[in-house]
Amino acid sequence: MKRETKFAVLLNSVGGVLVILLCVIAFNIISAQFKTKADLTEGNLFTLSKGSKELLDGLAKERGGDDESSPLEIRFYLTRGEKGVPVVVNEHGTRVADLLDQYKAYAGGNLELTKVNPRRDTDAEELAVNDGIRLLNNAFYIGLAISYLDSTEVIPVLDPSRSTNLEYDISRAIKNVLKLEEDREVVGVMSGLNVWGGPDPSNPMAMMNRGQQQPPWYFLQQLQRDFKVERIEPAATDIPATVNVLLLIHPKNVSEATEYAIDQFVLRGGKLIAFVDPLAQRDDSGQQNPQMRIPGLGGGSNLNLLFSKWGVPFDNTQVVADFNYRLNPRDPIAQGRMQPAYLALNRNALNLDEVVTRDLGTLRLPYAGSFDTSNVATGLKVTELITSSEQAKLVDGMSSQFNGDKIMDSFLTGSEDGKPVSTRKHTLALKLGGKFTTAFPNGKPATEDAGSAEPGATKPASPEHLTESKEDNYVCLIGDTDILVDDHFILQQRFRISENITFVQNLVDHFGDDTLINIRSRNQNRPFTTIVNLEKEAQTKFEGRLKKLEEEQQAILQEKTKLESTGEGNNQFTLRIDPEALKAIQAKELEKRKQIREIRKQLRAEIDLIQLKIKLANIGLMPLFVIIFGIAFFIRKSKKTAAV
């Protein structure tokens, strides 16, 4: 057998590499001509959702295949090739472009997509400005304009921080331009609070129309963007038939006639979202001096007849205090005080199996009430949406604002005023579903005017009176109205503390038009469950020691506070503070803080080690397998060559 020279072997090797390289290039060129892809992510996160496809199907149906009719136009503005454009913006822009290509591919000729590069001082920049796209950092644009017929919806800035809501934002804009104002779902708002804005009751000049007026609450402004919002008076005795969803906010001292109207609204298939509250911070009806607001004087709200009929009574005199979900004293709202009845909830308090709550992170419910779900009416089913922790109890609403330390002491000691404290989980928000029956079996209550009827009297049943819903229906009940207040969302938004408004939008989308909720509810949060589970195991290892130290620290703080209080005041009989005792207490406090820091340091080190091991495995394991495989293959081939 003729032995090949080293040069021939080298030539064959180089030639083989070149042939493989040419094959790869040819394959890429040919495959690039085919617009095919495979989305292997769980939930198909990189594929258009069912809701978006339904919107585009509606567009195709409306155009009816008429090529002469106006298509939906999307103009995407992204500045490229300019200095000052952050890398994150370019990456986000690429993702937007890819998603818009999917809209175009699905819609075909029904959608016209234009991508514009608005560089400074160009005609393209003028187009962006005319469309209302906002200039950022005096350097670049990234925004979207969607037009259909005479309607245009603009997203002036496509914020990279909202990348998980990208498809929702685009589809919401498409929905708004496709639907005329008169075709949008009607959301009725019946509120005992001043959600509509107007004169500020705490400003005498504004009350005389001489000062600045308050705008509508933020949640209402958001609803007005997507729905036709109709104002319904709190004392209304009839809900218009055009209303699809009714937001009932703080129904306080409502008449039987009003409850009857709500009862009939639910029985005819209307969707009710009710916000009741034992202590509404924005209820100014009980204030003697509007300029010195004391939350809670207005009294609690309720729907006694309906809630009793449905088997979910609501105590509108007590609020839920929670040891685990208490507001951090360092929070600006807390002002350094303990407020266990101001609930700062995390994902553990939310029902992650429900579409309206599964993708939320944190909610704030100040002084919320609780529903009793132990005896639900026959034929109805309760789904808890928001719950407290097991370390929670009901307390007086008014005093809870000022006695936070006393409530916290009762959690730690297990007793209050010599009585044992019982804690349990409380239902803060729920969805009630099934066939509803009327709370007014005798028909519509008689009108109480001019003394012509006694309270509780009823008119004879009329043909319009409904006694049972024809099909299964749903209502949503929330034990707090302050979840709607701007202060607990807008002022904290920059710190990403609260998703209150998102929760409200989810409820209305879910009950009103589920097209958008199908998009918003896609789970974009893809945690590494292995890492999360390992971190939980590490936390469990240190949890007992840390909890014990924190309890000891709390006891020391109480002892210190008690000792310091003996030195206050100017009474000559007041005990003087013992400096040596105070010094000893302070030393104990410092020691406990040091021990807690050490435990937390060990916990962080444990978690960091877990993450390091995972990273090393991900980075080094596959190359190690390749090396081992290569060595084994080389040894096997060498043995075969030697045998020949």
Asked if 197 and 141 sit in the same domain, the reply is no
Nearest in space to 399 (alpha carbons), one of 445, 347, 341, 455 = 341
Q: Is residue 56 part of a domain?
A: yes
End-to-end CA distance of the chain: 12
526 vs 46: CA distance, rounded Å: 13
Q: Is residue 360 part of a domain?
A: yes
Q: Write out pLDDT tens, residues 343-394.
A: 999 899 999 888 888 878 889 999 999 999 999 999 999 999 999 999 999 9
Q: Write out pLDDT tens, residues 271-281.
A: 999 999 999 98
Q: Write out pLDDT tens, residues 174-233.
A: 988 987 666 788 999 999 999 998 775 555 555 555 556 788 998 999 898 888 999 999
Q: What residues are paired with 113 via a beta bridge?
A: 74
Among the three residues 134, 155, 178, which one is the final residue of a domain in this structure? 178
pLDDT at 475: 97
- Give the type of residue at 7: F
Nearest in space to 245 (alpha carbons), one of 225, 260, 218, 223 = 223
Nearest in space to 232 (alpha carbons), one of 218, 214, 251 = 251
- Give the type of residue at 116: V
Q: What is the arithmetic mean of pLDDT over 590-616?
A: 79
Asked if 431 and 401 sit in the same domain, the reply is yes
136 vs 127: CA distance, rounded Å: 16
Radius of gyration of the chain (CA): 32
pLDDT at 625: 78
Q: Write out pLDDT tens, residues 526-584.
A: 555 566 666 667 667 776 777 777 777 777 776 766 666 555 444 444 445 667 777 77
Asked if 370 and 397 sit in the same domain, the reply is yes
Q: Is residue 270 part of a domain?
A: yes
- pLDDT band for 150, please (50, 70, 90 cuts): confident
136 vs 595: CA distance, rounded Å: 48
Report the percentage of the chain scoring pLDDT > 90: 40
pLDDT at 100: 95
**Backbone dihedral angles phi then psi of residue 587, each to the nearest 5 degrees:** -65, -40
Asked if 174 and 188 sit in the same domain, the reply is no
Q: Which of 12-16, 113-117, 379-383, 429-433 shows the lowest mean pLDDT across its residues?
A: 12-16
pLDDT at 483: 93
Among the three residues 178, 200, 222, which one is the final residue of a domain in this structure? 178
Under a CB-based contact definition with an 8 Å cutoff, are residues 466 and 261 in contact? no
Under a CB-based contact definition with an 8 Å cutoff, are residues 340 and 411 in contact? yes
Q: What residues are paired with 153 via a beta bridge?
A: 146
262 vs 247: CA distance, rounded Å: 11
Q: Write out pLDDT tens, residues 312-323.
A: 999 999 999 999
Side-chain half-sphere CA neighbours of 455 within 13 A? 3
Under a CB-based contact definition with an 8 Å cutoff, are residues 434 and 250 in contact? no
Asked if 373 and 430 sit in the same domain, the reply is yes
Asked if 121 and 189 sit in the same domain, the reply is no
pLDDT at 209: 55
Q: What is the arithmetic mean of pLDDT over 51-76?
A: 89
pLDDT at 453: 47
Q: How many domains does the chain have?
A: 3
- Using DSSP's 3-state secondary structure scheme, residue 57 falls into helix
370 vs 346: CA distance, rounded Å: 18
Q: Is residue 589 part of a domain?
A: yes
Under a CB-based contact definition with an 8 Å cutoff, are residues 498 and 363 in contact? yes
Under a CB-based contact definition with an 8 Å cutoff, are residues 358 and 415 in contact? no
Sign of the CA dihedral with 384 first, then 387, 392, and 393 last = negative
Q: Which residue has the higher pLDDT, 350 or 282?
A: 350
- Using DSSP's 3-state secondary structure scheme, residue 234 falls into coil
Under a CB-based contact definition with an 8 Å cutoff, are residues 252 and 275 in contact? no
- Per residue in 373-393, is it b (16+ CB within 10 Å) or e — as a string? beebbeebebebbbbbbebbb
Asked if 156 and 72 sit in the same domain, the reply is yes
Assess whether pLDDT exceeds 80 at residue 86. yes
pLDDT at 168: 85
Q: Is residue 207 part of a domain?
A: yes
**Domain carrying residue 488:** 184-442+479-520
Asked if 389 and 429 sit in the same domain, the reply is yes
Q: Is residue 271 part of a domain?
A: yes
pLDDT at 111: 95
- Mean pLDDT, the chain, integer: 81
Instruction: Indicate which CATH number applies to the domain containing 81.
Output: 3.40.30.10
Among the three residues 178, 212, 243, which one is the final residue of a domain in this structure? 178
Asked if 193 and 171 sit in the same domain, the reply is no
Asked if 633 and 552 sit in the same domain, the reply is yes
Q: Is residue 200 part of a domain?
A: yes
